[in-house]
Structure 1
Amino acid sequence: MVKNLNIGVIGVGTVGASVIKILEENKEVICARAGVDIKVKKGVVKNLNKSRSVSIPLSTDIEDIINDKEIDVVVELMGGINEAYEVAKKTLQNKKALVTANKAMLAYHRYELQQIAGNIPIGFEASVCGGIPIIKALKDGLSANHILSLRGILNGTSNYILTQMIQNNQDFCSALQLAQHLGYAEADPSLDINGGDAGHKLLILASLAYGIDAKPQDILIEGIESINGDDIEFANEFGYAIKLLGIAKKQNNEIELRVHPAMIDKNKMIAKVEGVMNGISVIGDRVGETLYYGAGAGGEATASAVISDLIEIARGKSSLMLGFERSPQINLKPKENIQSRYYFRLSVDDKSGVLAQITSILTQNDISISTFLQKEIKQKNIAKILFSTHTTTERAIKNTIAELKKLESIIKEPYIIRIEDE
């Protein structure tokens, strides 16, 4: 057994600096668990003039790490997609193990990396939900199970914003500004609030659970930007919480993958995951439901996951990156065939006959109303109609919205939220 495991860190930002710090401060316990001394030999940064609280040699040249024969593992924390993918490829081609926290790169290139790697270890626990060991749970702990479904709050920023809106009656913009002020949201929060970040993570989990190679553009992804107080009031009235969920469901040989705001029963455990925390519910055919909860982001939580991968590599534990090869028997369910219940928010002219027009369009698309709430608003001659439907298809909903938008009585774009009752 080797006495040392030498690593190089590409990207010594918040997470990279935390990896270095934890390896130094928890050296004794990490060495005892790994069976070897894990040492950071050097790091690569974009700007050498930026002050960093690390004591390792730094360079701006990635080749200094990839071509260093003494470095056993490359830790990629640079972010981005294309450049990071090229770095990952070169790392594996140079027969070095790879540890990455880069969910965006893996969302597009996970299967290509698996093919290149062969028996070379790739660790990516930190790519999904930081401090929650969900990757190891799916690869190892639940490996005897067919995964029937998976539902997750996979983005702490969006969950924090929704928590502020629901508990403190804040509007979306105010909640987002607070998240940015506290450091939970970036200056450009697009990927957090539009569902993109959660989509990347869901695709990684779906590969582990089902062996399906879907890309972000293949699945339904919607964000939380349009949620307002009316939606929250309706949810409260009928016993729901609103969460941005990543959802995977298996039925026969089809996998349904989607990310969007969802109304879920307030009594469900996952509905109680609040603030910046993440939570994932996994249902296996043998174990039933298991729930994973914890910090999904932050330097130390993510660094903890990176180091767990380093320890596994040090122990000599290696398995196929995604658990198994792509399954040709598994197909992605077309978006338009997805079934759900739906909540509608409509702003309409407050005059007779409008409700009849709306009901007629719903009937033509074989959609029936389950619950109904009409709100009075301060503006004259405008009514807000809030209702939920019985189970229908995404195709029927899209057709309905297209027809509703043709009505002169519809004042604003119709808005929907899917309802998860299972």
Structure 2
Amino acid sequence: MTPLQVDLACDATGGNAPIAYLWDFGNGRTTPLQNPSLTYTQAGIYVAVCRVTDADGDSSLARVEGTQNIVVVDGEFGGETAFSGFGAGGEPTAVAVVSDLLAIARGAPGRQATDVQARRPVAREFDAPHYVRFMIRDRPGIIAALAEVFSRHAINVDAVWQEPGGAKTELPFVMTLESCGSASVTAALNEIGQFDFHVRPPLWLPILSRGEARA
């Protein structure tokens, strides 16, 4: 039934004052009021979210109600990212039940799969672009040394990224590699790991997209 008037309230505890509030009403409108009122003029499902930020810039989602679930991921470079979706109700529950039934049919003890396709094993060796993150003590010649090792393993460097102004004693930078064999990357990084400029071991991940990785 529209229009529908809604009174919202948000109360935060902890953190350092002053506390700032930002409501997102789920209809394209926002407000910095702590306890706002609004009127929804069109029928639909709306999720109102309140983000609370203290004087130090620390923030969190205050409340999510109804059938929506929200997960907040805080990344070093990407900052906070919120993912929301239905966690209850007819169709989401049906998906969860069917997923459980498939898991049982595929491998539960005492049961045998019939018409259910078994999980395909992941190939140990595959070709794909790769992401490599280094954490180093900065000094001249590091990128040249890395490039020389990758070259000997027939790996082409696609891009190098480093945020300027970082601490020289613990400096992160990223390389992306053109499509190559995972075994070649492993061998190259085992060799690179012997260099004495690492603060932490290199971190590498394949960059996969649908149909891109080839076993």
Give TM class, smaller chain. Answer: 0.3 to 0.5
Greater fraction of residues in helix? 1
TM, length-normalised to structure 1: 0.26
TM, length-normalised to structure 2: 0.47
- Which one has a bigger Cα radius of gyration? 2
Greater fraction of residues in strand? 2
